[in-house]
A and B are shown apart, each in its own frame.
Chain A
Amino acid sequence: MTVNAAAILSAVVQGVLVGGLYALFASGLSYMFGVMRLVNLAHGAFAVLAAYATLILAQTAFVGIPDPGPVLIGLLGVVPVIAILGYLLQRYVLQLTLSESPLPSLLVTFGLAIIIENVLLLTQNATPKKLSLGRAVETASIDLGFTQIGVFPLAVLVLAIVLLGGLSLVMARTQFGRLVRAVSDDPATVGLTGANPRHIYGIAAAIAFGLVAIAGIASGVQTNFSPASGGTLLIFAFEAVIIGGLGSLWGTFIGGVILGVVQSVGAAVLTKNYEILVGHIVFLLFLIFLPNGIIRRRVRL
């Protein structure tokens, strides 16, 4: 086995691209934890749900539209619906589970994940599916000399940066952002400003669910998915969040990129079989030696 510098560099570049997708996945999880201290174990399941919803729309409602039309139109329809679902779920279900103990929300979101997975199994069967943007888009690439980068993964990375950058700006500059930070500091006092803390939580959940829907659809284009894919997606998201630092958006982005690079370099240096394992090992090393992550959380616990 020979590994040269070009192969490593190529692996790093590919890893950064995959990292963009992981970051997109992890940001919703990180955001909900940062705002309402809620770990959403159904995060991966909602990503898969979004991918299936887009697939069904693309294969039924938008047949005949040339690629990549069906998936893109599906995305525009599915993301807002999942975001609204996130608002309603937070406001009328998850809100009831918020307490000093993290256990009720863990149990309820775990239950939701199981329900979603099984409903998909019953209605869609277990065969792996994929979303198609058409050959032209999926095979388009840019030649960097030492490696080729896919246009679609690059677009996902750029989208992740734009979405996280936008969310950061909203958090820093707007009244909504101030209220989200305020509710994260002291939920019991926010009512005294005239803002309804439950509504703020709901909007934050809508943002998180919208992000995970986008991530789920993007992932469905890049790789196969099946009703049970949510668990793997959740683990990657968790690892990115922990590596980056709980509750910090840019930390989560960095965490996603690190996870992607580590997996990709691991696969290049060892073999493809080690890709996932190397990622898990690096995550464990972070958990042991840097449990607060790279960027210590800005929001206080």
Chain B
Amino acid sequence: MLEVDDIDVYYGQLPAVRDVSLRLDDGGILAVIGANGAGKSTLLGAIAGQVPVREGRVLLDGRDITRLPAHRRTRLGIALVPEGRRLFKSLTVEENLLTARASKRSGPWTLDAIYEMLPLVGERRNRRAGDLSGGEQQATAIARALVTNPKVLLLDEVSLGLAPAVIAQLYSFIPAIREQGTSILLVEQDVQQATRASRDVHCLLQGRTSLAGADLDLADITRAYFGA
């Protein structure tokens, strides 16, 4: 179980996330939505250890991981698919996946299992990551995160800059990932996409929680999203 307990994150003097708390049960799914600059990516970065938390705590299965560096959190089972994919461009697709074995975590997601679920990635395994299309890169970034066999998968704006058909395909893999016991925290700008993927929604507005709950009314979400 992942718990975020009342965290504040700052960039220098600028608050990016304030007093945000959330909870993600094992095998669960939660969508964090919000406009540009609402603090969604910062929140994921703080959970993954890429951005320091100023106040509050991040707990994984009750263990305080707030001050651990990113690689230690990965080894404990937190995997981030970062905004902009951030593949290692000079490495091949397969090499990108192999780097994630540094997490030393074993589980259902072997390379073979991943290639089977994401044939798109398997077919491109010997191509340099920098030469892939956007959709292929995103799939590879998800695959790289899966190689760490995470307890919690953090997906940052998977749909950004991709064609609707590709987005639909990537989202179609989410149930298979959850079936293996991995819980998913996803960040989306697209409210419809987010509510289709997850009943539980957490809406951020200017770094603060503006609404959170399950099966929310679209009108309420829209208000929380734009702060009207």
* B198 interface residue (CB < 8 Å to A): no
* B110 interface residue (CB < 8 Å to A): no
- The answer to whether B104 and A194 touch across the interface, beta carbons within 8 angstroms, is yes
Residue of B nearest to A196 (CB): B71
* B34 interface residue (CB < 8 Å to A): no
Q: How far is the CA of A82 from the CA of B144 in the complex (A)?
A: 36
Interface residues of B (CB under 8 A from A): 48-50, 69-71, 74-75, 79-80, 82, 86, 88-91, 95-96, 98-105, 144-145, 148
Q: How far is the CA of A205 from the CA of B86 in the complex (A)?
A: 25
Residue of B nearest to A200 (CB): B102
- The answer to whether A182 and B74 touch across the interface, beta carbons within 8 angstroms, is no
Residues of A in contact (CB 8 Å), total 21
Other A-B pairs, 17, CB within 8 Å; known A189-B86, A194-B100: A179-B102, A184-B90, A185-B89, A185-B90, A191-B69, A191-B74, A192-B50, A192-B100, A193-B71, A193-B99, A193-B100, A193-B148, A194-B75, A194-B104, A194-B105, A298-B90, A299-B90
Taking the nearest CB of chain A, how far is it from the CB of B174, in angstroms?
A: 19
A170-185 interface with B by 8 A CB criterion: 175, 178-179, 181-182, 184-185
Residue of B nearest to A188 (CB): B50
- The answer to whether A191 and B50 touch across the interface, beta carbons within 8 angstroms, is yes
* A19 interface residue (CB < 8 Å to B): no
Q: How far is the CA of A124 from the CA of B157 in the complex (A)?
A: 62
Q: How far is the CA of A124 from the CA of B91 in the complex (A)?
A: 47
- The answer to whether A182 and B80 touch across the interface, beta carbons within 8 angstroms, is no
A96-121 interface with B by 8 A CB criterion: none
- The answer to whether B70 and A192 touch across the interface, beta carbons within 8 angstroms, is yes
Query: Provided the pairs A182-B91, A185-B88, A186-B86 are in contact, do residues A195 and B71 lie with their beta carbons within 8 angstroms?
Result: yes
- Chain A residues contacting B70 (CB-CB under 8 Å) are 191-192
- Chain B residues contacting A194 (CB-CB under 8 Å) are 71, 74-75, 100-105, 148
Q: How far is the CA of A298 from the CA of B88 in the complex (A)?
A: 13
* A190 interface residue (CB < 8 Å to B): yes
Query: Provided the pairs A194-B71, A194-B104, A195-B99 are in contact, do residues A181 and B91 lie with their beta carbons within 8 angstroms?
Result: yes
- Chain A residues contacting B96 (CB-CB under 8 Å) are 182
Taking the nearest CB of chain A, how far is it from the CB of B44, in angstroms?
A: 11
- Chain B residues contacting A197 (CB-CB under 8 Å) are 71
Q: How far is the CA of A175 from the CA of B100 in the complex (A)?
A: 10
A-B contact pairs, 19 of them (CB 8 A): A178-B91, A181-B91, A185-B91, A186-B88, A188-B86, A189-B88, A191-B50, A191-B71, A191-B74, A192-B80, A192-B144, A192-B145, A193-B102, A193-B148, A194-B104, A194-B105, A194-B148, A195-B99, A195-B102
Residue of A nearest to B145 (CB): A192
Q: How far is the CA of A193 from the CA of B49 in the complex (A)?
A: 12
- Chain A residues contacting B49 (CB-CB under 8 Å) are 191
Taking the nearest CB of chain A, how far is it from the CB of B72, in angstroms?
A: 8
Residue of B nearest to A197 (CB): B71
Query: Provided the pairs A175-B102, A179-B99 are in contact, do residues A193 and B144 lie with their beta carbons within 8 angstroms?
Result: yes
- The answer to whether B48 and A192 touch across the interface, beta carbons within 8 angstroms, is yes
Residue of A nearest to B85 (CB): A189
* A300 interface residue (CB < 8 Å to B): yes
Per-residue interface assignment for chain A, residues 186 to 221, with 1 indicating a CB less than 8 Å from any chain B CB and 0 otherwise = 101111111111000000000000000000000000
